[in-house]
Amino acid sequence: MTGMLASVENLAEALLVMEAGVDIIDLKSPSAGSLGALPLATVREVVEAVGGRLPVSATIGDLPMDPAQVFQAVESLAGTGVDYVKIGLFPAGDWRATVFGLTPLSAHRIRLVAVLFGDLSPGLAQIAELALAGFSAVMLDTLDKRGGSLTQVCSLGYLRDFVAEAKSYGMLCGLAGSLRQIDIPLLLTLGPDYLGFRGALCMRHNRTAGLDGKAVQAIRSVLHY
């Protein structure tokens, strides 16, 4: 069954989505970019409050693909106790050197999630390299949150191939990127492990606004029918 990933930015939101029955809590700051990072203290607070009842992921932020900078950020975030550390593969810098520079961390059982951006048309061959570097999961998101949902910037065939390629390497696979309730039935046919949401869960569907409990329940009811 495809699970629901809910992105939150503080403890109150984390407790709200946990009570609603989501499958994974994702920590990020929507006002700080597409994958904006939260303070480490906030991440630790949420991890401690969740207490292992649900997986928790968090992002290192919108960092350039600089191997040393990303390594340090991943190592620091992993120290908070999160289950998954998310790294966006942004266009600036050397993503291959950055990705393979993280292999020592994945070898120490730090579960790494690569986030690719569908509106940048990433080549699916990247997934094989991520698997070789020891990444546990890969997500397809959108970089420009004003450009429409993932289903509007990527063809259904591309999304199907993305999911199939990730699963062929035994990686967890997620789809996100301004997803709407109407996107869910189509995406479920592709069989991703998770669908990720932020804007659709917020008041006025504004990703930088607070969460709307009724919206969270509405998305969950479609996913967990």
Q: pLDDT, tens digit, for every residue of 115-170?
A: 999 999 999 999 999 999 999 999 999 999 888 999 999 999 999 999 999 999 99
* Residue 224 pLDDT > 90: no
Extents of the domains making up the chain: 3-223
Please give the pLDDT value at position 146.
86
Give me the residue label for tokens 């942004």.
90
Task: Report the alpha-carbon distance of residue 121 to residue 116 in Å, rounded.
Answer: 9
Helix (H, G, I), strand (E, B) or coil at 124: coil
Mean pLDDT of the chain, nearest integer: 96
- Spatial neighbors of 186 by CB under 8 A, at least 6 apart, are 151, 156
| Marked catalytic residue, from 86, 145, 167, 214 | 86
Cα separation of the two ends of the chain: 10
Residues 28, 145, 167, 214: which is the catalytic one? 28
Averaged pLDDT, 63-82 = 97
Residue 93 has phi, psi (to 5 degrees) of: 100, -165
Q: How far apart are CA 205 and CA 150, in angstroms?
A: 16
Nearest to 26 by CA among 184, 223, 207: 207
Residue 166, number of CB atoms within 10 A of its CB:
25
Q: What pLDDT is stored for residue 225 in this prediction? A: 63
Tell me the pTM: 0.96
Q: Single out the residue of 201, 205, 204, 194 nearest to residue 219, CA to CA.
A: 201
Residue 67: which of 98, 113, 99 has the closest Cα? 98
pLDDT at 218: 96
Helix (H, G, I), strand (E, B) or coil at 18: helix
Percent of the chain with pLDDT over 70: 100
> Which tens digit of pLDDT belongs to each residue from 4-33?
999 999 999 999 999 999 999 999 999 998
Return the CATH number of the domain spanning residue range 3-223.
3.20.20.70
Q: 47 with 26: CB under 8 angstroms?
A: no
- Distances in Å between the Cα of 163 and the Cα atoms of 102, 116, 198 are 23, 12, 21
Q: How far apart (Å, rounded) are the C-alpha atoms in residues 191 and 207? A: 25
Of 180, 165, 159, 211, the residue nearest 7 (C-alpha)? 211
For residues 109 and 105, give the distance between their C-alpha atoms in angstroms, rounded to a whole number.
Answer: 7
Is 28 one of the annotated active-site residues of the chain?
A: yes
| DSSP structure class, residue 53 | S
